[in-house]
Structure 1
């Protein structure tokens, strides 16, 4: 790799020092503050750190962190990989990740949907992975149609190789201007944000896995990779069992996307798949923590689509604790709770906590789901009999719970 200019070297070194100090003092994992310090000293630091590396950017509303982890695990077969493992997915986090692994020839960066055009332009990444788009943080995020439009503009005219989920019409539209696209049939359980054609506004018609606009030519592309329940079919027609340790259909979809990205880097499935099987937890997601004989499995859900996937993973025979906050990273507006169908929880012991527990309690009351209201997660956990319990929390509530158990990963 080309040696950094002296100013960039100094900025990178001071950023790493700030990150280390943050971790030592218990203020955080350093994945943001290190990048901020580096960018203050050298505003062009991200571009310089990305130069000469083979980079993949991963963006979506749901599953970014998990897919980034899976791709990273696969590419470790090729050499050292720089990545923002804890989800700091804006430029400061990217700078921290690349500074921390300054000699890594490969990089896999999770990117916030809104920042993808900027980060792609800055880094010149050769591969971009696009998985899904749905409503999220409605008080501060742009309409997803506008996000897809920005993706189209950002990809147009660039030599980037895009790996995209053709089962999501918005992702398909956003990716379709790229010079090279590998289409993956990764599935789309949440369809409430894609009933209209993003090209002309007409109605989308769905027949099985296929979709097409009734009023223009926009339609589902033919995929090269196909997720078929517990297996993926590669472009050569070979079927591979996705026997990963992460649970649920959504994670098998994430794994299919990861295998397609690995293939774009020249890594065949037979070498990538064993690496994916090594991933058991992602920044606390799917981890089981224990206290006083109670084993709580932690699941993250940040928006209606994410809750649908969390319900798919949770065990219907177990009690469940739900925790919702509305801090800045969550979005202040909790009206999205009304888009989640909580009736699936009927018949289960349900415990509600979090800073916005009353908002969630009202939603469950309307859905005719009995629940117990708890002042804290500790209280909710203490109310469980010894044994297993599922926990679903949105972003900051999830991080608070993790911190109670030493930020389990």
Structure 2
């Protein structure tokens, strides 16, 4: 069979071109550290690698979400720590202002401090994050959550908690609403709250009290009214209930400091209540810490001259002290949940890092190249290509005239 010179050149150059293309592909595999450069190289591995890449991208996005959640929670924790310190300062004022040696004028210093504390607390409650969003406004991040009012402060946000996807099947709150933080403190002992009427003229000081039988609590309002016999001077008290019970109560003899027990509740009153003095017992409710401080300012702004004035001051300070401590406990509870969330994020970060290592290994097994094998193949292809070039040059140089010589 006769082969033309043109055919020889086409076959030789085509084969050399194929060898060059194969060597170039090996070179690309080495430089990219990938065995599968196009889906056609290994369709099954390419399809599996696509799923692994998508899982890796999701894992990376979850890591970003966890980082954002950690940043937001850490900032909130820092603010709550400042608030806790501020409320401790307020408690110190309550203790110091109760001294009987102080005059009304002396207490003006504490009033100035309390007003400053109120303004500082308002600033902390309206804290913005690095993006300019209010951190305690719930979903209303562009709305200032708290504005001052005559009774404390109005909350303008909502109850929403911004959730972030921090795991494939886990969402986590990256913050807390201002209502939960600043308005979640209870009054009294958490079950009921005792209070002296502002119109009392005696020296009766009521305690916070405690629950003796949870099953007997009715959730009703009670009043304890004192009567002093004009002849004997004996003091009695009458407990009334709203709504009224089926059987009316009867007056009971009063002894200072002796426990008063009814409806599963127990408390005592010390001192000498005057005729007609009343004390209320109501179910505990939640109260804004701003309201608590405003009420405390009102207590210190009222004259405490004389026994009756000192008694009103003592009752008011005791109520404020209890409510401030309850507000601190509520904030401590929120801080505990923040710590729990941060711990969970750390655990999810650790799991995410392990998962990323596993994904990387799986992806390398699917489309990765063995460096030793690739370099060996590349060297072999270089030698083969060079040999082919030399051979083709010799064959192309042959002619009939060379054979005749």
The interval holding the TM-score normalised by the smaller chain is under 0.3
Structure having the higher Rg: 2
**Structure number with higher helix proportion:** 2
**RCO higher in structure (CA 8 A, sep ≥6):** 2
TM-score (norm 1): 0.21
